[in-house]
């Protein structure tokens, strides 16, 4: 299976490492023989139709160099779009940073790849939040797969559980904590009376926050994830414009202390039922299943037959998300028998 990787940051790097380390297992268990034929980062691309060897490339990245700096195979200034057009591949992994204003460059990359009949695995929430209904349609029209397990819940298989384990059942509503950074901030404010700005700085230092942390604290990241869940699991063709969003920026330390005195906690909750999709801070009793601490995510699906199912897990992290990309790859292999 020939793979193009667009964006080579904290998800794509562990992903290629896993492919190298698990070569035998992937082949033996799944018949999967992945071959990464091109990687693109901000400085350009590196291309090899016989498959890239990552030992040298990862060393160079550690030193802050672009993949394009490779003297033999590097192609400085070559863009993702040029690689999609020129390099033969079965799967494009789109892992460029999230941009919620216009989804670019990821949105154009995904569209171009689908039009060229490449299967796409996205870890980038921006294009999906803006255009998931039309992207799903484009994938269907071109007879290829569009997968994005890593965009919601990090490594926690929220999308897979809802899609694959509830066959025949119907998810009627979804409610949960979809952003680790804000959950961490609210927990730190509660437990140590830390001010919001300081707690955010801690979350940034630990690598949980988005490159633009206003996406976290204003509820935008949660809204992106809610859009993805709603489209994938509830057939609700919504985009981020349809979500009523308020983040945690107005939550005060006083309100948090008061909630605690009432054996409750303020949590940033994303929810969708038959009607409105929303993200807002809400008061939950301390013993509520969604009342999880730290950077955890927790989501309750209410289904027609199974009733309420709550899944709790780590919602962020490079290795965790790389594991989700691998699941998508195996899923595509099974779907298309590539």
Annotated catalytic residues are: 225
Taking the CA atoms of 5, 7, 12 and 13 in sequence, report the sign of the dihedral they define.
positive
Residue with smaller CB distance to ligand HSE, 90 or 221: 221
Count of residues near ligand HSE by CB under 6 A: 11
DSSP 240: G
Q: Is residue 181 a contact residue for ligand HSE (CB under 6 A)?
A: yes
Report the nearest approach of ligand HSE to the CB of residue 318 (Å).
Answer: 10
Asked if 124 interacts with ligand HSE (CB under 6 A), we say no
With respect to ligand HSE, which residue has the nearer C-beta, 84 or 316?
Answer: 316
Residues 286-315 touching ligand HSE, rule: CB under 6 A, are: 315
Beta bridge partners of 169: none
Q: Contact between 328 and ligand HSE (CB under 6 A)?
A: no
Cβ proximity to ligand HSE: between 118 and 225 the closer is: 225
Q: What does the DSSP 8-state code read for residue 248? A: S
Judged by CB, which is closer to ligand HSE: 12, or 209?
A: 209
**Site membership for ligand HSE, residue 269 (CB under 6 A):** no
Question: Which residue in this structure is represented by tokens 């906690």?
Answer: 265
16 binds ligand HSE (CB under 6 A): no
Minimum separation from the CB atom of position 58 to ligand HSE (A): 23
- Counting contacts by CB under 6 A, is residue 229 touching ligand HSE? no
Q: Which own/partner contact pairs does 67-70 have at CB distance under 8 Å and 24+ positions apart?
A: 67/8, 67/39, 67/40, 67/41, 67/43, 68/41, 68/43, 68/44, 69/43, 70/46
* Helix (H/G/I), strand (E/B), else coil: 236: coil
Rounded CA-CA distance 246/15 in Å is: 34
**Which residues are within 8 A (CB) of 82 and not within 5 positions of it... i.e. 6 or more apart?**
45
Q: How far is CA 57 from the centre of its chain?
A: 24
Chain residues in the site for ligand HSE (CB under 6 A): 154, 179-181, 208-210, 216, 221, 315-316
């Amino acid at each position: 299976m020939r793979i193009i990787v667009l964006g080579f940051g904290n998800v794509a790097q562990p992903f290629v490492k896993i492919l190298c380390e698990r070569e035998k297992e992937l082949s033996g268990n799944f018949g999967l023989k992945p071959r990464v034929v091109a990687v693109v980062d901000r400085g350009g691309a590196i291309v090899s139709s016989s498959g890239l060897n990552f030992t040298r490339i990862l060393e160079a990245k550690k030193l802050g160099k672009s993949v394009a700096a490779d003297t033999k195979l590097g192609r400085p200034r070559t863009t993702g779009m040029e690689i999609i057009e020129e390099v033969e591949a079965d799967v494009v992994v789109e892992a460029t940073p999230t941009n919620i204003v216009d989804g670019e460059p990821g949105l154009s990359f995904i569209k171009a790849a689908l039009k060229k009949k490449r299967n796409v695995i996205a870890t980038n929430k921006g294009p999906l939040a803006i255009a998931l209904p039309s992207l799903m349609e484009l994938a269907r029209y071109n007879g290829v797969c569009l997968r994005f397990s890593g965009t919601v819940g990090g490594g926690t298989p929220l999308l897979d559980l809802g899609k694959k384990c509830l066959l025949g059942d119907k998810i009627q509503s979804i409610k949960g904590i979809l952003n680790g950074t804000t959950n961490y901030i609210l927990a730190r404010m509660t437990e140590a009376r830390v001010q919001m700005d300081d707690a955010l700085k801690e979350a940034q230092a630990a690598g949980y926050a988005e490159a633009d942390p206003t996406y976290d604290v204003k509820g935008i990241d949660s809204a992106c994830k809610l859009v993805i869940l709603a489209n994938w699991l509830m057939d609700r063709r919504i985009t981020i414009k349809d979500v009523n969003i308020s983040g945690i920026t107005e939550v005060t330390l006083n309100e948090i202390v008061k909630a605690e005195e009432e054996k409750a906690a303020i949590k940033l909750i994303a929810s969708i039922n038959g009607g409105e999709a929303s993200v807002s801070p809400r008061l939950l009793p301390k013993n509520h299943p969604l009342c999880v601490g730290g950077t955890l995510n927790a989501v309750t699906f209410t289904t027609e037959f199974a009733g309420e199912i709550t899944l709790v897990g780590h919602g962020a992290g490079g290795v965790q998300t790389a594991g989700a990309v691998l699941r998508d790859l195996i899923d595509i292999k099974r779907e298309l028998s590539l």
